[in-house]
């Protein structure tokens, strides 16, 4: 090989090595930052994980791993107990990455954020209704998803809270001697939550309200319907 060709080859190799070094230098901090955030998450230091994922998303917005970082940022907020912020971040993930690998989990955790914010049955029911809507959306979008069974269980928990609230109001009016109002709320319980485990006891109390109001025929009809309902329940597979 002539000297000129050797010189050109050496220059080309030096340039190639330099480009490779620059490429590795560009990827190094990116990978290190994401791995650091993941390590904090795995250790359970969710507050620090949040900070690391935020930095990564700010500095590496063009990275191929940014969708995963966004999902893990939302998960970090969720695991840290900041459910309102987690719900927002899961929404960001679903909106910005409609083809992301974690769409089902993001929808599931988005619903769980509202489940976690649902208070006791005797408090404001607005977050409970929001949780039910989110669970309904999830079950409609992922009817055969891996989290479907758990989501249905959470739905039953939320519906039970609403049924308990109706029952508590009916009992409150009954204790106050406002039998007509109590009658209305027992009826609402039966109409809105026909599958509630509370219904059997509630109907027994409702029968007593009917009798106290002098509505013996309606009381007898309720007892007949209760027996029929319990018979169907016992025969169910």
Instruction: Render pLDDT for 76-90 as a digit per residue (tens, 0 to 9).
Output: 999 999 999 999 999
Average pLDDT, the chain: 87
Burial 9-23 (b: 16+ CB within 10 A, else e): eeeeeeeeeeeeeee
- Provide the pLDDT for residue 64: 76
Res. 25: pLDDT tops 70:
no
Q: Which of 146, 69, 68, 158 lies closest to 111 in space, CA to CA?
A: 158
Please give the C-alpha separations between residue 59 and each of 29, 52, 212, in angstroms, as whole numbers. Answer: 10, 11, 71
| Tokens found for residue 65 | 């791993």
pLDDT-derived band at 237 (thresholds 50, 70, 90) equals low
DSSP 8-state symbol, 110: H
- Is the Cβ–Cβ distance between 84 and 127 less than 8 Å? no
What digits encode the pLDDT tens for the residues 141-170? 999 999 999 999 999 999 999 999 999 999
Which sign, positive or negative, has the C-alpha torsion 58, 60, 37, 33?
negative
Residue 213 CA neighbour count, 13 Å, CB half: 19
Which sign, positive or negative, has the C-alpha torsion 100, 101, 103, 109?
negative
């Amino acid at each position: 090989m002539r000297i000129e060709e050797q010189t050109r080859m050496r220059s080309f190799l030096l340039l190639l090595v330099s480009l490779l070094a620059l490429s590795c230098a560009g990827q190094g901090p990116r990978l290190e930052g994401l791995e650091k955030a993941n390590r904090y998450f795995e250790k359970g230091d969710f507050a620090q994980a949040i900070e690391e994922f935020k930095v990564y998303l700010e500095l590496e917005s063009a990275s191929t791993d940014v969708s995963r970082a966004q999902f893990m940022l939302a998960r970090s907020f969720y695991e840290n107990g900041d459910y309102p912020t987690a719900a927002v971040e899961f929404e960001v993930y679903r909106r910005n990455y409609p083809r992301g690998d974690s769409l089902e989990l993001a929808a599931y955790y988005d619903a769980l954020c509202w489940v976690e914010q649902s208070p006791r049955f005797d408090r404001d029911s607005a977050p409970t209704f929001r949780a039910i809507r989110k669970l309904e959306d999830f079950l409609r979008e992922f009817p055969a998803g891996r989290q479907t069974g758990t989501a249905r269980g959470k739905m039953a928990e939320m519906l039970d809270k609403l049924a308990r609230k109706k029952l508590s109001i009916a009992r409150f009016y009954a204790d106050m001697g406002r039998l007509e109002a109590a009658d209305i709320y027992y009826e609402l319980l039966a109409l809105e939550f026909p599958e509630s485990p509370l219904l059997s006891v509630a109907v027994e109390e409702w029968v007593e309200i009917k009798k106290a109001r002098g509505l013996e025929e309606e009381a007898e009809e309720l007892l007949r319907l209760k027996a029929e309902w319990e018979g169907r329940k016992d025969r169910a597979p």
